[in-house]
């Protein structure tokens, strides 16, 4: 698991731009940057909203590899692949 960062020295200041950029055009990039530098080296980050009826809405995506590919993957997830996500049960707790 070399892609995970040592979070014992977690830098909360890395998330300050994320808070500042909420609802702004750079929010997803700020979030990806904060995660990359503090938690894990990831290629892309997507945010989804799950409503009480289990409908899924794709909110935003950022990618350091391919924004088009990340968006396409995120839309597929929202269109039904989420039903096979093993982390869904954890999120529902």
Q: Are the C-beta atoms of 56 and 50 separated by less than 8 Å? A: yes
Question: What residue numbers bound the domain in which 87 lies?
Answer: 11-92
The alpha carbon of residue 69 and the mean position of all alpha carbons in its chain are separated, in whole angstroms, by 14
The answer as to whether 76 is a domain residue is: yes
Task: Report the alpha-carbon angle 87-81-85, nearest 5.
Answer: 10
pLDDT of the chain, 93 residues: tens digit per residue: 455 455 555 567 778 888 888 888 888 888 888 888 777 888 888 989 888 887 899 988 989 899 999 999 999 999 999 999 988 878 766
The answer as to whether 1 is a domain residue is: no
- Give the number of domains in the chain: 1
Q: Cα Rg for the chain, rounded, in angstroms?
A: 14
């Amino acid at each position: 698991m070399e892609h995970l960062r040592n979070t014992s020295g977690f830098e909360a200041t890395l998330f300050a731009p994320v808070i500042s950029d909420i609802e702004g055009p750079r929010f997803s990039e700020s979030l990806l940057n904060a995660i990359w530098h503090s938690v894990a080296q990831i290629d892309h980050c997507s945010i989804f909203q799950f409503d009480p009826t289990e409908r899924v809405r794709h909110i935003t995506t950022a990618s350091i590899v391919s924004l088009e590919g990340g968006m396409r993957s995120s839309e597929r997830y929202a269109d039904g692949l989420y039903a096979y996500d093993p982390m869904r049960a954890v999120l529902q707790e």
